[in-house]
């Protein structure tokens, strides 16, 4: 079969290409998925250049998510032909991922695709969409069911889907982006206001600023999250799921002890399977967005390397869907 393989040439030097590789053999409680679609995520791009925080075992097939149908099964939970999705766990990290024609995984990682979605639709969301949906779900579960929500890194995969879901649910969505040429794109997703990165005063040293937002969905971390926390109204919520700006957070306690702000971390990798199933069911119903085509660039395995270069240079918009 064909797969997108990353190989280590020497210390800190890697190469990647499409290769013919063996179809894996499944063991006890494992399944073999005939892949239909995967996607590209920032973590995939890091894996493709040998980032040791993501992948240490080479040669390696990238792809932290995949959708398709069961080809072989050694699990009583699944039958041949079942339509399924896998996101998170170790897939695409040190376990060969979704950028190959057949993918072997433990059955415990696999979820049946809920009614209302097919393989292409669910992989249009993929890990990024699951993360966005988890973020929106946390707002709802913390009594932020309406109001003004700030989304940082809004043109990325997580941010753009979060904007679309929030707009569908009736929130007033304000976005932060460094891409002036994407203002119309963000407004087409439902953003009511777009703040350019240079206008978002992250250098302001005041410990608190005017109460502006009921919630924040932050996808970049660093000073953007720190600044956002100062702008949240009393009893508001910030969710945190990314670090493309920085993994460090230099902040103060005033938003938390004077305004009761809650900072909630979002992890889509190791959350319980039951919660993943719950969120995918929401994606197939309440969170399903009609304008999904605006977010997607469909590519093949042959286009992955070029797309990784775009992602790593922070020039990507929306989601890359990989047709296997």
Residue with tokens 């206008």: 199
pLDDT tens per residue, range 281-324: 999 999 998 766 667 899 999 999 999 999 998 888 788 999 99
Annotate 37-91 with DSSP letters as a single string: EEEE-HHHHHHHTT-TTT--SSSEE--SEEEEEEEEE--TT--TT-EEEEESTTB
The owner of tokens 């997580």 is 158
* Average pLDDT of the segment spanning 2-24: 93
Task: Write down the CATH number for the domain with range 2-112+291-323.
Answer: 3.90.180.10
Mean pLDDT of 128-142: 96
Could you read off the pLDDT of 259-277 as tens digits, one per residue?
Answer: 999 999 999 999 999 999 9
- Summarize pLDDT for 167-198 with one digit per residue, the tens: 999 999 999 998 888 899 999 999 999 999 88
- C-alpha to C-alpha distance for 107 and 206, rounded to whole angstroms: 51
CA angle 178, 323, 190 (to 5 degrees): 35
Return all residues near 267 (Cβ < 8 A) that are at least 6 apart: 241
The helix or strand, by DSSP H or E, that contains position 127, with its residue range, turns out to be helix 119-141
- The segment(s) of the chain belonging to CATH 3.90.180.10 are 2-112+291-323
Strands (E), the chain: 2-10, 13-20, 30-40, 60-61, 65-73, 83-87, 102-106, 111-112, 148-152, 172-177, 193-196, 213-218, 232-240, 262-265, 296-300, 319-323
**What is the CATH class of 128-265?**
alpha beta
pLDDT value at residue 19: 95
> The dihedral of CA 45, 48, 51, 56: what is its sign?
positive
Instruction: Report the pLDDT value the prediction gives residue 291, as an integer from 0 to 100.
Output: 66
Q: Tell me what pLDDT residue 292 has.
A: 65
Find the mean pLDDT for residues 158-166. Answer: 94
| Higher per-residue confidence, 255 vs 314 | 255
Average pLDDT of the chain to the nearest whole number: 94
Calculate the alpha carbon distances from 10 to 58, 61, 96, 225, 309 in Å.
Answer: 11, 18, 20, 37, 21
Min mean pLDDT across 17-21, 51-55, 140-144, 277-281 is at: 51-55
The alpha carbon of 107 is separated from its chain's Cα centroid by a whole number of angstroms, namely 22
Q: Provide the token pair at 137.
A: 């779900």
Q: Tokens representing 276?
A: 């993943």
In the chain, the percentage of residues whose pLDDT exceeds 70 is 99
pLDDT above 80 for 255: yes
DSSP E strands: which ranges in 266-318? 296-300
pLDDT in the model for residue 198: 87
Phi, psi of 298 (to 5 degrees): -90, 130
Can you give the C-alpha Rg of the chain in angstroms? 20
Given a cut of 80, whether residue 125 has pLDDT beyond it is yes
CATH 3.40.50.720 residue spans of the chain: 128-265
């Amino acid at each position: 079969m064909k797969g997108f393989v990353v190989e280590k040439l020497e210390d800190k030097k890697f190469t990647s290409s499409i290769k013919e590789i063996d179809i894996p053999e499944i063991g006890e409680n494992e399944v073999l998925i005939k892949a239909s679609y995967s996607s590209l995520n920032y973590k995939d791009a890091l894996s493709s250049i040998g980032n040791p925080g993501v992948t240490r075992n080479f040669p390696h097939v990238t792809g932290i998510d995949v959708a398709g149908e069961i080809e072989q099964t050694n699990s009583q939970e699944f039958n041949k032909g079942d339509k399924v999705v896998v996101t998170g766990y170790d897939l695409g990290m040190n376990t060969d991922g979704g950028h190959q024609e057949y993918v072997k995984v433990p059955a415990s990682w696999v979820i049946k695709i809920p009614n209302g979605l097919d393989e292409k639709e669910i992989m249009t969301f993929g890990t990024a969409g699951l993360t966005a949906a988890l973020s929106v779900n946390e707002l709802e579960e913390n009594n932020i069911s309406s109001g003004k929500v700030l989304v940082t890194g809004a043109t990325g995969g997580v941010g753009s889907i979060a904007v679309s879901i929030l707009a569908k649910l009736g929130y007033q969505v304000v976005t932060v982006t460094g891409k002036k040429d994407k203002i119309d794109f963000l407004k087409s997703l439902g953003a009511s206001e777009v703040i350019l990165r240079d206008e978002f005063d992250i250098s302001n040293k005041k410990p608190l600023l005017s109460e502006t937002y009921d919630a924040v969905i932050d996808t970049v971390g660093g000073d953007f999250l720190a600044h956002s926390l100062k702008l949240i109204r009393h009893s508001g919520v910030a969710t945190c799921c990314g670090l493309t700006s920085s993994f460090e957070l230099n902040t103060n306690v005033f938003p938390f002890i004077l305004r009761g702000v809650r900072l909630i971390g979002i992890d889509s990798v190791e959350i319980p399977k039951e919660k993943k199933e719950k969120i995918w069911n929401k994606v197939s119903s309440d969170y399903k967005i009609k304008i999904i085509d605006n977010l997607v660039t469909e590519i093949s395995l042959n286009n992955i390397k070029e797309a990784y270069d775009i992602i790593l240079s922070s020039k990507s918009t929306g989601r890359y869907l990989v047709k296997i």
